[in-house]
Structure 1
Amino acid sequence: MTRSLSGKKEPLSRSEVQILPIAKAAVEQSWERCLSAYHLDPAQGWIPDILSGAELRHVSGRSAIFLKSAMGEMHRLFELVQGMGLMVILADPNSTILARCVDETHLSVCRRLHLRKGAIWSEASAGTNGVGTCIADKQPVFLGQGDHWRFCFSLLASYAVPVFDAQGHVAGALNLAAMTGNTTRPYANLLMETLKLSSRRIEETLFRNCHMGEQILTLGMPEESSSLLVAINQAGEVTGATHGARTFMGWTEDRLCTRPNLLTELEAGVEISFKKAEESVVRSALAATQGNVSAAAKSLNISRATLYRKMRALEIQ
Structure 2
Amino acid sequence: MADDDILPPPVHHKAPPTSDARIQQSWERCASAYHLDPSQGWIADVLSGAEFRQASGRSSLLLKSAMEEMRRLFDLVQGMGLMVLLADPDATILARCADETHLSVCRRLHLRKGAVWHESTAGTNGVGTCVKEKCPIFLGQGEHWRFCFSLLASYAVPVFDAQGHVAGALNLAAFNGNSTKPYAALLMDTLLQSGRRIEEQLFRTHYVGKKIVTLAPANGCSAPLVALNSDGEVIGATHASRVMMGWTESMIKDHPNLLSELETDCEISLQKAEESVVRSALAASHGNVAATARSLGISRATLYRKMKGLNIQ
**Matched residue count:** 307
Deviation at 1:270, TM superposition (A): 3.5
For 1:195 and 1:208, the matched residues in 2 are separated by 20
Paired residue type of 2:17? I
Residue 280 of structure 1 pairs with residue 276 of structure 2: yes
User: 1:173-212 alignment to 2 at 5 Å?
Assistant: 173-212=169-208
Question: Could you give the per-residue CA deviations for residues 92-121 of structure 1, whole angstroms, max 9, x where no partner exists?
Answer: 010000000000000011001000000000
Residue 26 of structure 1 pairs with residue 22 of structure 2: yes
Q: Which residue of 2 aligns with 1:94?
A: 90
Deviation at 1:273, TM superposition (A): 1.3
Q: Which residue of 2 aligns with 1:38?
A: 34
For 2:35 and 2:270, the matched residues in 1 are separated by 44
- Structure 2 counterpart of 1:306, from 299, 302, 308: 302
- Structure 2 counterpart of 1:132, from 121, 128, 134: 128
Q: Which residue of 1 aligns with 2:4?
A: none
- Structure 1 counterpart of 2:150, from 124, 147, 154: 154
Question: Could you give the per-residue CA deviations for residues 5-55 of structure 1, whole angstroms, max 9, x where no partner exists?
Answer: xxxx655444x354244xx22211111111221111111111111001111
- Structure 1 counterpart of 2:311, from 280, 293, 315: 315
For 1:288 and 1:12, the matched residues in 2 are separated by 62
SS at match of 2:177: coil
TM-score, scaled to structure 1: 0.94
Query: Does the 8 Å CA contact 1:89/1:101 hold for their aligned counterparts?
Result: yes
Q: Which residue of 1 aligns with 2:81?
A: 85
Cα distance change of structure 1 residues 27 and 129 upon mapping to structure 2, 3 Å threshold: same
Runs of 4+ in 1 over 4 A off after TM superposition: 9-14
User: 1:210-229 alignment to 2 at 5 Å?
Assistant: 210-229=206-225
Residue 106 of structure 1 pairs with residue 99 of structure 2: no
For 2:275 and 2:53, the matched residues in 1 are separated by 45
Query: Does the 8 Å CA contact 1:20/1:144 hold for their aligned counterparts?
Result: no
Question: Could you give the per-residue CA deviations for residues 115-172 of structure 1, whole angstroms, max 9, x where no partner exists?
Answer: 0000000011101000000100000000000000111100011000000001111110
CA RMSD of aligned residues (A): 1.4
What 5-or-longer segments of structure 1 have no aligned partner? 1-8
Query: Does the 8 Å CA contact 1:131/1:175 hold for their aligned counterparts?
Result: yes
Q: Which residue of 2 aligns with 1:57?
A: 53
Paired residue type of 1:144? G
SS at match of 1:182: helix
Deviation at 1:71, TM superposition (A): 0.3
Q: Which residue of 2 aligns with 1:266?
A: 262
Paired residue type of 1:252? T
Q: Which residue of 2 aligns with 1:71?
A: 67
TM-score, scaled to structure 2: 0.95
Query: Does the 8 Å CA contact 2:158/2:167 hold for their aligned counterparts?
Result: yes
SS at match of 1:298: helix
Question: Could you give the per-residue CA deviations for residues 186-244 of structure 1, whole angstroms, max 9, x where no partner exists?
Answer: 11111111101111111111101111111100110122111100001011110000011
Paired residue type of 1:246? R
What 5-or-longer segments of structure 2 have no aligned partner? 1-7
